[in-house]
Amino acid sequence: MVGQTVLVTGATSGIGLATAERFVAAGARVVLLGRRGDRLAEFTRKLGDRAHALVLDVRDHVRVASALAALPDAFRAIDVLVNNAGLALGLSSLETIDFEDCTQMIETNCAAVLAMNRAVLPGMRARDRGHIIHMGSIASHVAYPGGNVYCATKAFVHQLSQSMKADLAGTGVRVTCIEPGMVETEFSEVRFSGDKTKAASVYRGMKPLTPADIAEAVFWCCTLPAHVNVNLIELMPTAQGFGPTIVKRVDG
């Protein structure tokens, strides 16, 4: 990956941070994007000259294009875009869910991905090479109670990946969707509004995937020869199954 430029959204924690670290370790230049500038400053300082912080809310699609166009020369021609920023808010059923939460999930997990892709694709097409990675989820096809809007956003990501692959066939631009199961990050803390105890209970008594496990899968897809496109990777902890609702019985 020496000489390549990678942009990772949602690089202030979890999967995004681990992915940024993996690519920097392999010699790439990496733009770490997120809203929490203090964290980005700390991580880019640790990662060194090949890391660049971009403080940005991906939902601000007007600023997305101008912020990417204003990146320093060495970081502007993006070879790999990792669309990782995303979140789930709450576990309410649809009639009680906070509508603002719905909007935030849709804007972050779906609309922002479109804006990021639209900003980098012209350059990738002009150079006839590039790789777009989407961080999907098994939630794209494994529904669970209260998952409603989050699951639907990840179904969007899954189908967008497939459709973009179809659009870009014959160009040098690859598209990959990574669909993890349970990964221990700040994801559950965000979902439960900062309740660390509730978040920790999600991973109680089992060994979840780590952000580094996902970063390795992302990295592997990017190291394959240019004619090889990994369309989809689904990965889960060994301890995870499908569910949790197999049958709801009237007697409980």
Using CB under 6 A as the binding rule, whether residue 90 contacts ligand NAP is answered as: no
3-state SS track over 55-100: ECCCCCHHHHHHHHHCCCHHHHCCCEEEECCCCCCCCCCCCCCCHH
CA distance 143 to 243: 8
CB neighbours of 64 closer than 8 A, spacing ≥ 6?
56, 58, 112, 115, 116, 119
CB of 147 to ligand NAP, least distance (A): 11
For residue 238, the SS3 value is: coil
Binding string, residues 110-139; x marks residues near ligand NAP by CB under 6 A = -------------------------x-x--
Stretch that binds ligand NAP, among 62-70, 121-129, 179-187, 228-236 (CB under 6 A): 179-187
**For residues 83 and 132, is the Cβ–Cβ distance under 8 A?**
yes
Rounded least distance, CB 136 to ligand NAP, Å: 7
| In the complex, least distance from residue 1 CB atom to ligand NAP, rounded to whole angstroms | 21
Does the protein bind ligand NAP through residue 14 (CB under 6 A)? yes
Specify whether 203 is catalytic: no
The span from the CA of 97 to the CA of 106, in Å, is 13
121 vs 215, which CB is nearer to ligand NAP?
215
Give the one residue of 185, 192, 217, 218 binding ligand NAP; rule: CB under 6 A. 185
> Which 3 state secondary structure label does DSSP give 166?
helix
Residues belonging to the active site: 150
Rule CB under 6 A: which residues touch ligand NAP? Answer: 9-16, 34-36, 57-59, 84-87, 108, 135, 137, 180, 182-183, 185-187, 190
